[in-house]
Amino acid sequence: MPTDAPSDAVAVLHSQVLLQKLDFWLRNPDYLADELISRYERDSNPEDLDLARHILESDEPEVRSYQMLRYLFGAYEPLDEALSVLRTPGLVIRRKQGSNGHITQHDYYLTSSGRTAAQTIVDTAPDLSYYVERSTLVADLAAGRRGSALRDIQYLQPEYADAALGTHIAGIAARARQRLKDALASAEGGQQ
């Protein structure tokens, strides 16, 4: 934890870019599954293919998708309103680094009361376990990389890269499902 962190902070996420890119994968299961397929192709971990299959062979990409806008640096959603419900009761603290008119970084601190509230919600609302599972998966997929590295990965998707500024980034469920089908066929062929 940084030495200048709030006294009751228990975790920190540095960078609004990172938060936006993690949010994109959480809100777009088809892109998340497609990246799991890419990691499977790179690392040959069958668990990644199983996770992608679980997502893509369900209606999750259609039901759980919440598209984001394409902005100057990729997927973007204004955070002030969404974070206000966490900041007002002191569950999250946002600190900006830099000077007026030139913010160089946003730091998002989870407070001890924020962690307690999150755990209470998980314990009392099991229907929200989907978000816990997906957040854990997204964090694992990000593997400690910087937001700019995740942005570069997301820009490899034509639908993402080619979206006009200010428009919603289109889904890729059909293409991801075809990639899954091809990867499964290749995996089965390699086992014979």
Q: What's the average model confidence in pLDDT over 112-128?
A: 95
Residue 46 lies in a domain: yes
Structural domain including 38 reads 9-181
b/e code 34-47 from CB counts within 10 Å (16+ = b): bbbbbbbeeeeeee
Q: How many structural domains does the chain have?
A: 1
Q: How many whole angstroms separate alpha carbon 49 and alpha carbon 44?
A: 9
Interval 133-144: pLDDT, tens: 999 999 999 998
Give residue 190's pLDDT.
62
Residue 186 lies in a domain: no
Interval 3-60: pLDDT, tens: 889 999 999 999 999 999 999 999 999 999 999 999 999 999 999 999 999 999 999 9
